[in-house]
């Protein structure tokens, strides 16, 4: 498995194995799509001594289950029952005779009861066990759990590392931009072409809104407003494009920073109205077009 970036963390973990100073709990935190889970899994394979096994009974993975509500797929909380099952599994001897490793992905979905149950295991862990919590939101982890973990913060990858992933890809420029220094996103985009196509469309649509005359903008607003969920997604893409412009990543737009910031505020205001009220999406978009034109 190829891990992009995070060499200091990799070196730290490898040294802990070499010196037989493996901690009993780690907390991997940072934004999504940075490779936290991939690195945790690779570390778990090294710790259990079974790098090549497709099925490794000494690695236990817990992640939120999904459910559908109002037509949308949502992640469920990780309930205390899952932690009790984990505790039972960790109490058994390792199948390969070395370590047992538990990876809890999206640990921010642990309920308070689950975290308090987990705390008991962290305070009195079984011999030769390692627990790795992975989270995008470290503030959701209770202080007593955090205090029992070695915390490793994951940062964004370097641009050259993203470029290396995409060197043989068509649309490499677009892929690199939308990866936003996150290796996982870059890899996902190479597999899910339609996700990249949505973002390329958003680039073109924002360009239209910036450059067309008002009557053309109004016609365009009518087209965009036919599907509210698609509209919301596209407006969020516009915000990303404008934010990157402010930070100097102006691959697709050359806007004054003050104007870009003003547009972000107007788009976010429009998004709030569309999502939280029963307002007519077309009228909201026409008001946004007027703000963009002024």
Question: How do the pLDDT tens digits run along the chain, 294 residues long?
Answer: 567 889 999 999 999 999 999 999 999 999 999 999 999 999 999 999 887 778 899 999 999 998 876 666 788 999 999 999 999 999 999 998 899 999 999 999 999 999 999 999 999 999 999 999 999 999 999 999 999 999 999 998 888 888 877 877 767 788 888 888 888 888 888 888 888 889 989 989 998 888 888 889 898 899 989 999 899 999 999 999 998 888 877 667 778 888 889 999 999 999 999 988 888 999 999 999 998 887
Residue 143 belongs to domain with CATH number: 3.40.50.300
Same domain, 148 and 282: no
What pairs with residue 110 in β-bridges? 78
Planar angle of CA 220, 226, 231, nearest 5 degrees? 75
Which of 73, 69, 202, 45 has the alpha carbon at shortest distance from 130? 45
Can you give the pLDDT at residue 165?
A: 77
183 located within any domain: no
Can you give the pLDDT at residue 159?
A: 81
Residue ranges making up the domain that contains 211? 192-293
Same domain, 204 and 113: no
Match 């862990």 to its residue by tokens.
125
DSSP H stretches of helix in the chain: 7-18, 36-48, 80-90, 112-123, 143-146, 159-166, 172-179, 183-191, 193-211, 214-224, 228-246, 257-276, 281-293
Split into its structural domains, the chain has a count of: 2
Same domain, 126 and 41: yes
180 located within any domain: no
Report CA dihedral (106, 111, 112, 117) to the nearest 10 degrees: -90
> Please, which residues have CB within 8 angstroms of residue 11's CB and are 6 or more apart in sequence?
none
What's CA 119's distance to the chain center, in Å?
26
Can you give the pLDDT at residue 248?
A: 77
The H-or-E segment that residue 251 falls in is none
Can you give the pLDDT at residue 28?
A: 98
176 located within any domain: no
Can you give the pLDDT at residue 29?
A: 96
178 located within any domain: no
Can you give the pLDDT at residue 155?
A: 92
Can you give the pLDDT at residue 189?
A: 86
Contact between 168 and 16 (Cβ < 8 Å): no
Can you give the pLDDT at residue 211?
A: 87
User: Token digits for 139?
Assistant: 């503030």
Same domain, 126 and 38: yes
Residue 286 belongs to domain with CATH number: 1.20.272
What pairs with residue 135 in β-bridges? 29
Same domain, 48 and 111: yes
Domain boundary among 155, 180, 208: 155
185 located within any domain: no
Contact between 104 and 134 (Cβ < 8 Å): yes
Same domain, 12 and 149: yes
242 located within any domain: yes
């Amino acid at each position: 498995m190829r891990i992009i970036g995070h060499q200091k963390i990799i070196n730290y973990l490898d040294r802990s194995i070499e010196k037989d100073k493996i901690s009993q709990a780690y907390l991997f935190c940072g934004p999504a799509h940075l490779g936290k889970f991939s690195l945790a899994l690779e570390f778990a394979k090294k710790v259990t001594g079974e790098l090549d096994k497709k099925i490794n009974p000494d690695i236990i993975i817990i992640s939120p289950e999904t459910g559908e509500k109002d037509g949308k797929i949502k992640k469920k909380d990780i309930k205390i029952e899952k932690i009790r099952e984990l505790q039972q599994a960790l109490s058994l001897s390792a199948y390969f005779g070395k370590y047992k490793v538990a990876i809890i992905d999206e640990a921010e979905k642990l309920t308070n009861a689950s975290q308090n149950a987990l705390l008991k295991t962290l305070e009195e862990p079984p011999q030769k066990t390692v627990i790795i919590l992975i989270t995008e939101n470290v503030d959701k982890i209770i202080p007593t759990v955090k205090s029992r973990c070695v915390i490793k913060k994951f940062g964004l990858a370097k641009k050259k590392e993203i470029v290396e992933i995409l060197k043989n890809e068509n649309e490499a420029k677009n892929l690199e931009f939308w990866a936003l220094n996150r290796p996982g996103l870059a890899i996902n985009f190479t597999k899910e072409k339609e996700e990249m196509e949505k973002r390329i469309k958003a680039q073109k649509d924002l360009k239209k809104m910036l450059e067309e005359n008002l009557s053309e903008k109004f016609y365009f607003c009518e087209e965009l407003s036919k599907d509210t969920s698609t509209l919301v997604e596209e407006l969020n893409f516009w915000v990303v494009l404008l934010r990157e412009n402010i930070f100097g990543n102006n691959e697709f737009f050359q806007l004054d920073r003050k104007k870009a910031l003003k547009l972000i505020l107007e788009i976010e205001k429009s998004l709030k109205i569309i999502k939280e009220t029963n307002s007519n999406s077309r009228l909201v978009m026409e008001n946004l077009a007027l703000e963009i034109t002024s």
